[in-house]
Structure 1
């Protein structure tokens, strides 16, 4: 399981804005170490965000996403106290889910 995500979710003008910073190495699998050996790929390949168990964002990623990716998105609706959860899964079978309450 990776490090906790930093998630901020706030309601503004009837829209909920969510910002997420994910701590992950996002290794492409194409780089080589100092000895010339290929560093195995280790990257997030699926991200799902939910508002009260309803999917509001679903993304499929690959090795071209940078280390410690940041995503920002909006959706209509949400009231203070509702939950927003974000889950990621990577190509090595690791996953993490974190959630916050809307403010």
Structure 2
């Protein structure tokens, strides 16, 4: 099993009050907890169950996920550029593992 790989796409800089697109994906092998292995043992659920984006430390986007989510969940949303600040992206997995990236947004 490969380690999850998070990626984001955001502009390097934007004008003040400009609305910009944020795209985030994590390459993640999901398990619903509904399948069994060759021995008939249930494979434990292991999904990305939450994605959060913070802008300047303030939560601006959140998604709670459940069994029906696809592998490699992709999100696209829009934000308004209000100030130069850090964008933080956090993916949480069943079992407590977290994966994160950050990007410093420059607002002109």
Corresponding residue pairs, total? 101
**Is the 8 Å Cα contact of residues 5 and 28 (structure 2) preserved in structure 1?**
no
Whether 1:60 and 2:64 are equivalent positions in the alignment is yes
Q: Check 1:78–1:25 CA distance in 2 against 1; reply closer, same or farther (3 A cut).
A: farther
Cα displacement (A) at 1:35: 3.0
Over the aligned positions, Cα root-mean-square deviation in angstroms equals 2.2
Structure 1: 5+ residue stretches without partners: none
Q: State the 1:33 CA deviation.
A: 2.0
Task: Give yes or no for the alignment of 1:89 onto 2:97.
Answer: no
Check conservation: 1:15, 1:78, Cα contact below 8 A. no
Three-state SS of the structure 2 residue aligned to 1:16 is: strand
Is the partner of 2:10 in helix, strand or coil? strand
State the partner residue of 1:5.
Answer: 6
Structure 2 residues not aligned, in runs of 5+:
none
Q: 1:47 aligns with which of 45, 51, 55?
A: 51
Structure 1: distance between partners of 2:4 and 2:33 = 21
1:13-40 Cα distance to aligned partner (Å, 9 max, x none)? 8112110111222210001223332211
